[in-house]
Amino acid sequence: MSGGRIRPSGTASRTGAVRLPAARTGSRICLLVAFVGPLLAPVSLRAEPRLLGWPFFYWYQLLWVPLAAGLLICAGLLRRRARGGRAPDTPTTRRPTARTG
């Protein structure tokens, strides 16, 4: 047999990055909730309960602005964790950007 072993999920790959399926799944759930939550307009199309005189529909939609921002931050942190702590698409070597001279 050759050296090709089957690694359980969550272990290091050839690049050394640890793949965490739970982190990827968590980030996808955060993105899904941030996307679907404001689309629940049929549920929120009513005037009551009011908050500071605002109908429910308005404050429900405005409530999703900071909630979605928080969920997107969580999704980004989870994706970074799944990638092994490195930023996406960062080059490993530094290339010169322009010639001077």
* Helix and strand counts by DSSP (H, E) for the chain: 3, 0
How much is the pTM?
0.59
CB 53 within 8 A of CB 61: no
pLDDT per position in the chain (101 positions), as tens? 555 555 555 555 555 555 567 777 888 898 999 999 888 877 777 778 888 888 888 888 899 999 999 999 999 998 888 777 665 565 556 666 676 65
